[in-house]
């Protein structure tokens, strides 16, 4: 889904000039189309989440606010796995291997995903700063309800980026994900962005935490999100 400049400005409750400043100074993702600026909803949501910005109107709101709280990352990470010592040149093939092991997708869909991931421009790398990125398939497909995956790739060399840098820190930690639907994609971006904002996770990764420690942090984040959902249900 694409938004125009007016819709995006209204979503954040700012003027169009502010949005133009974000494009110029903050790297807000956009697509020029016949002298009109278009904004991919998922890319904007991801960009905003890394900067603590919240939409004030419905254009950027997820269709089901409860879905993000219900999404459990730990089982998806167990499926996708934690990959250590990955060379930058091997990243794409690891993405394909993660996709091929994904539950809830037919062999034909896995093959299609592999082709798309290997294609030029098939992956949006989405750097978010601090050495992290949230790579995902550039095109969305609708999978089974229980499908999707998350994988953590820890690289031993920095990744060359074709997308604008957020900072000068080399990207060496990738949270690769495939969502079950476009709606789930937005929720996945939000959950992973909040997870990366968790100081304890960053600290553990920087000191070389074990797989078990990483899974514990992700499971704790799932439990916290479930608690929020439960409290909202009581309100």
- In this predicted structure, the answer to whether residue 24 has a pLDDT above a threshold of 60 is yes
Q: Is residue 88 domain-shared with residue 200, that is, in the same domain?
A: yes
Span of 26-30, 66-70, 189-193 with lowest mean pLDDT: 66-70
Tokens of 60: 């950027």
Q: Are residues 92 and 206 in the same domain?
A: yes
Half-sphere exposure of 177 (CA within 13 A, CB side): 26
The answer on 171 and 116 residing in a single domain is yes
Strand (E) or helix (H) holding 87: none
Statement to judge: residues 57 and 72 lie in one domain: no
The structure tokens 């309800």 sit at 145
Indicate whether 191 and 176 sit together in one domain. yes
Average pLDDT, the chain: 83
pTM, 2 dp: 0.72
**Domain housing 38:** 2-61
Give ∠ CA 60-64-67 in degrees, rounded to 5: 110
Please state the domain count of the chain: 2
So what's the pLDDT on residue 55? 63
Question: How far apart are the C-alpha atoms of 180 and 146, rounded to whole Å?
Answer: 7
pLDDT value at residue 62 = 47
């Amino acid at each position: 889904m694409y938004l125009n400049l007016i819709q995006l400005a209204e979503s954040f409750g700012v003027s169009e000039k502010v949005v133009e400043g974000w494009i110029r100074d903050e790297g807000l993702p956009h697509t020029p189309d016949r002298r009109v600026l278009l904004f991919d909803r998922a890319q904007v949501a991801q960009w905003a989440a890394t900067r603590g910005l919240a939409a004030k109107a419905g254009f950027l709101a997820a269709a089901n606010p409860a879905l993000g709280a219900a999404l459990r990352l730990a089982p998806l990470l167990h499926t996708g796995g934690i990959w250590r010592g990955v060379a930058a040149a091997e990243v794409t093939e690891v993405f394909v291997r993660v996709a091929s092991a994904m539950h809830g997708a037919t062999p034909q869909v896995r093959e299609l995903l592999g082709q798309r991931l290997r294609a030029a421009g098939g992956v949006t790398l989405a750097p978010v700063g601090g050495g992290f990125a949230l790579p995902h398939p550039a095109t969305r497909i609708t999978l089974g309800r229980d499908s999707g995956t998350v994988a953590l790739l820890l690289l031993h060399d920095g990744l060359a980026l074709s997308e604008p840098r957020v900072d000068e820190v080399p990207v060496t930690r990738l949270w690769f994900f495939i969502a079950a639907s476009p709606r789930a994609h937005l929720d996945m971006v939000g959950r992973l962005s909040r997870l990366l904002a968790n100081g304890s996770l960053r600290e553990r990764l920087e000191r070389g935490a074990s797989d078990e420690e990483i899974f514990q942090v992700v499971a704790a984040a799932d439990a916290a999100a479930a608690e929020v959902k439960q409290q909202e249900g009581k309100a």
